[in-house]
Structure 1
Amino acid sequence: MLRKFALIYGALFLLGGVLGFVPGVTQPPHHAPPLMVEAFHGRLLGLFTVNVLHNIVHLTIGVLGILGSRSVSGALLYARGVAIFYGLLTVLGLFPATNTLFGLVPIHDHDVWLHAGSALVAAFFGFGPPARAREATAQA
């Protein structure tokens, strides 16, 4: 179950990262705080604000998920890392001073709830019943 989670999440993040570079899939940003990195700045699917750095983060997390899915321990580490990372991004996205990650990566508007949802799902797999079942099996 953990390995499937890492593979599916990895594939979704990889897809999101690739789509962030496709002009027809991203729309111009509107009412967005200014960024120091404007390359590929837009709204993915008209909802999620991205730029080139944000896309690279998605690609990296996607590749890490696919690599992590090769073993249960890798998938567990991936789930926990994603839960913590996206949990932190959720909190940062709530405050105007940090909702562009200091002008580098947009993490505001719809990104906040997407990051929160991503963190919660990853936390379920990384710290919840699937992780506890794996740890119980490892101790037996």
Structure 2
Amino acid sequence: MNSRRGTAATPRTPVQQAALLVGAVFLLLGVLGFIPGITTDYDSLRFAEHDSEAKLLGLFQVSVLHNLVHVLFGLAGLSMARTASAARSFLIVGGVIYLVLWLYGLFIDHDSSANFVPFNTAANWLHFALGVTMIALGYLLGRRRAVR
């Protein structure tokens, strides 16, 4: 006798699929931030300082804290993709967080201790794009129902 209930898995809604994809990408980027070669100037990687010159893909300034946040954010997305309402919340709230990070990165002095994540211009504009995209996905896909 099969210990599972039912015979078919419930299909994921589009918003769940989007949260799963976004979560997986964040998890991957967080892990890649710890790999020398994919992260240039890896020997200058710092825990949480503006003078970390390590750059993911040679473009986005990262630190140990930055990478860990990406890993945790990715795990949250994977976990919250289990239900449509949680997936929608992940995308919308996560998008708002990224827009706040974008604003923070715009207004702080990149050479000051306030830039503890750290941010650079490329990361700032990536945060903007992520924020807008995640919010749009949450709102647009969160209203749809899975096709059965």
TM over 0.5: yes
- Provide the residue aligned with 2:18 in structure 1: 5
- Provide the residue aligned with 1:70 in structure 2: 82
- Provide the residue aligned with 1:22 in structure 2: 35
Say whether the 8 Å CA contact 2:48–2:63 is kept in structure 1: no
Q: TM-score, normalised by structure 2?
A: 0.77
Considering only CA atoms, is the larger Rg found in Structure 1 or Structure 2?
A: 2
Say whether the 8 Å CA contact 1:6–1:69 is kept in structure 2: yes
Q: How many residues align?
A: 130
2:96 equivalent among 84, 88, 91: 84
Say whether the 8 Å CA contact 1:43–1:49 is kept in structure 2: yes
Q: 1:39 to 1:90 in 2, by over 3 A?
A: closer
Q: Distance in 2 between matches of 1:90 and 1:103?
A: 12
1:131 is aligned with what amino acid? G
State the 1:97 CA deviation.
3.2
2:121 is aligned with what amino acid? D
Alignment root-mean-square deviation, CA: 2.8
Say whether the 8 Å CA contact 2:48–2:65 is kept in structure 1: no
Q: Distance in 2 between matches of 1:101 and 1:120?
A: 27
Q: Distance in 2 between matches of 1:26 and 1:37?
A: 16
State the 1:133 CA deviation.
4.0
- In the alignment, structure 1 segments of 5+ residues that lack a partner are 135-140
Q: TM-score, normalised by structure 1?
A: 0.81
SS state at 1:94 partner:
helix
1:29-108 alignment runs, 5 A limit = 37=49, 42-97=54-109, 102-108=114-120
Percent identical residues: 35
Q: Distance in 2 between matches of 1:126 and 1:17?
A: 22
Q: Distance in 2 between matches of 1:43 and 1:104?
A: 15
- In the alignment, structure 2 segments of 5+ residues that lack a partner are 1-13
